[in-house]
Structure 1
Amino acid sequence: MAKILLIDENAFHRRSLSEHLFLLGHTVTDLALHETGRALSDLACHTHQRPDVVMVDPFAPAVDGLLLMRMLCISSRRPVLVHSVDRSDDDIVQMLHAGADSYLPKPCHPSVVDACVGALLRRVPAAPPPPPTVVGSLRIDVAERSATIGGEPLVLTRTEFDLLACLAEHPGRVVPRAQLRIRVGRGAFSSAGSVDVLLHRLRRKIAERASDTRYLHTVRGKGIALHADADRRAA
């Protein structure tokens, strides 16, 4: 079935629809509308695993729905389905002209959403998985959510892998700590110190020390870069 990115400011709707779509066999990642910046950053990265379909309700106070729609279409390069409460004909026409592929009124039965997603994917093949990123003897496969070093699998938590995957999207470049906090900064991992905790755990698992780094390089005042010692580049 499909990998769906659901963007909606209504937390109850996101949770309910996600649960129903999961029962229909779909994998759903849900975000609040104010978190769309993180989604756009992720989708713009070639190594990020793209959803098959983006579902969004772009209508909210102080939100430029048309601009958001255009940015989602450009970044995701995937079918975009507008799912919102009954809108005027003008609103629907503007969304479709801005790049949306279809419109469904909210609420509707999850089976209707399932059928609409299937219809979109019959016209547009599913997104290919991103290729693994190889840095020295490290291999990070975002599609499989797995990582190996020297051919040996690394046992990583979800947040540890998310941190490594974010760094792997820009090998050789310094990734600001603020960006890392956004990517892995939910729940208990919301502070700058928690990024350091994750970094310490990752270093331990790949058998390196902060005083003798081979892959995870801290640049004081800037962020963290992933590169092999033999592959050092200016950030």
Structure 2
Amino acid sequence: MQVSDKNVKVLVIDDEAQIRNLLRMALSGYGYEVKEAANGKEGLNFALTFKPDIIILDLGLPDADGIEVIKKLREWSSTPIIVLSVREQENDKIMALDSGADDYVTKPFGMGELLARIRTALRHRTMVTPQMSIELDDLKIDLATRKIMVGEKEVKLTPTEYEILKILALNAGKVVTHKQLLKEVWGPMYENEVHYLRIYIAQIRKKIEADPSRPRHLITEPGVGYRLI
């Protein structure tokens, strides 16, 4: 599904003026309406008044940690959040995603990649239809009937495989962390059993991917989790 760039409002929360200027010029050139905030308090206020379609957030803010800003936003908003940060540690990425961020891009970044991540996050908002049917190219997932189609072929999944794919489909385009998947499928006691996921993800790929060794849909985010695209 295509998402028009026109009338899409982007809120940039970053204390670096150079980054804000770069993003404003680049995103405005693609038709986005951009609002800037230099700190967490200002960003939260603009999130209320500007009503952005997507938020780009730095974690290292002068008045608050970006993780706390994400948590506060998620108390009342489901607006997609893309973290843009110099922090490269897996723990930082996992913490941001578990707190409610939709995606994570490290600085320095390529504008082409960031634009693609923005388009993916915006598409995610409209992927689930009222009939609860999700289509990702040749992969079709009907959540009402639990029917999975790859092209014209119906795919049979085990109950556990289906639950994993359903969670990823409902968050299509977003990174779902190992912890999130394990908690939702097996329960809180299994949050560290990452080997469970590796086994089941491999089985799902054999059923939905043309070439399981080079997946197009079910992508691994090393050390963090998985993304369905």
Give me the TM-score of the superposition, normalised by structure 2. 0.48
Larger Cα Rg: Structure 1 or Structure 2?
1
Give me the TM-score of the superposition, normalised by structure 1. 0.47
